[in-house]
Amino acid sequence: MARTREFDTEAAVSAAMEAFRSTGYGGTSVRDLAEAMEIGSGSLYAAFGNKEGLYLAALDLYRRRYATPFIEMLRSGGDARETVRAAFGAVIDEITRGPGQASCLIVGAAMERAHSDAQVAERLRMTTQLLELTLLEVITEAQGRGEIAADRSAADLAGFLVMTFQGLRVMGAINADRIALTRAAEVALHCLG
C-alpha cells in the first residue's frame, strides 16, 4: 500500500520555485531542493518524478502566482497607455526592490533551459503568448477608442511590449537602476503614439 504524502505540495513547490529563482536550474541540486522544501529526496522523487518534474511544477506555480495576476492587471481597463505605464512601474518596482531580489523565473528558464528542454520552452511560449494576446486586445481596443494611434500594427506593438517587459527584467538583473529602467519604459510607451 502506498504511503500518503506528508507535506503541503504547494508550499513545497513554492520553496523549490524560490530556490530555482535564486540559483537557477543548474545551480540548484536535488539536495538543495529537498532542504528548501523540508522533505527528503525520496519524497521529492515520489511526488515529482525528478528534478525536471519539480522544475516544471515550479514554472506552473510561477505562472499562476506572478504572470496571471500581471495579465489580469493589464486587463483591468481604463486608459490603455496608463495601464501599460502602471504595468511597467510594477515590473520596475519588482526589479529594484532591493538586494537579494530573486530573478524572474521565466527569464531565467528562457536563458538556461528553453533551448534544450521542449517542455520548458512550451510552458514559456504559452505564458508569453498569453501576455502578448492580452496586450494585443488592450492595444486593439485602445486604437478603436482613439487612445493609441492606429498607424502601427497592434500585433507588432504587443510583441514589442512583451520584449520590452522581459528586456527590463534582464537588464535590471545586470543593473537595477530605476531611472534608466523608467526611461526605457517611457521610450516604449512613446512608441504607442
Grid coordinates of 90? 510594477
Write down the pLDDT at residue 1.
Answer: 45
5: Cα separation from own chain's centroid:
29
Query: For 143-180, how does the pLDDT look when each residue is reduced to its tens digit (9 = 90+)?
Result: 999 999 999 999 999 999 999 999 999 999 899 999 99
Reported as a single tens digit per residue, the pLDDT across 35-46 is 999 999 999 999
The model's confidence at residue 5, banded by pLDDT at 50, 70 and 90, is low
When pLDDT is averaged across residues 186-192 and rounded to a whole number, the result is 94
pLDDT for the residue numbered 111: 93
pLDDT classification of 4: cutoffs 50, 70, 90 = very low
Report the pLDDT value the prediction gives residue 99, as an integer from 0 to 100. 66
Q: What is the pLDDT of residue 101?
A: 66
- Count CA atoms closer than 13 A to 192's CA, side-chain side: 25
pLDDT digits (tens, 9 = 90+) for 9-31: 999 999 999 999 999 999 999 99
Long-range contacts, stretch 171-175, CB < 8 angstroms, 24+ apart: 172/92, 172/95, 172/96, 173/95, 173/103, 173/107
Per-chain mean pLDDT for the chain: 92
Tens digit of each residue's pLDDT (9 = 90 or more) over 62-118: 999 999 999 999 998 889 999 999 999 999 999 998 766 678 899 999 999 999 999
**135 pLDDT higher than 50:** yes
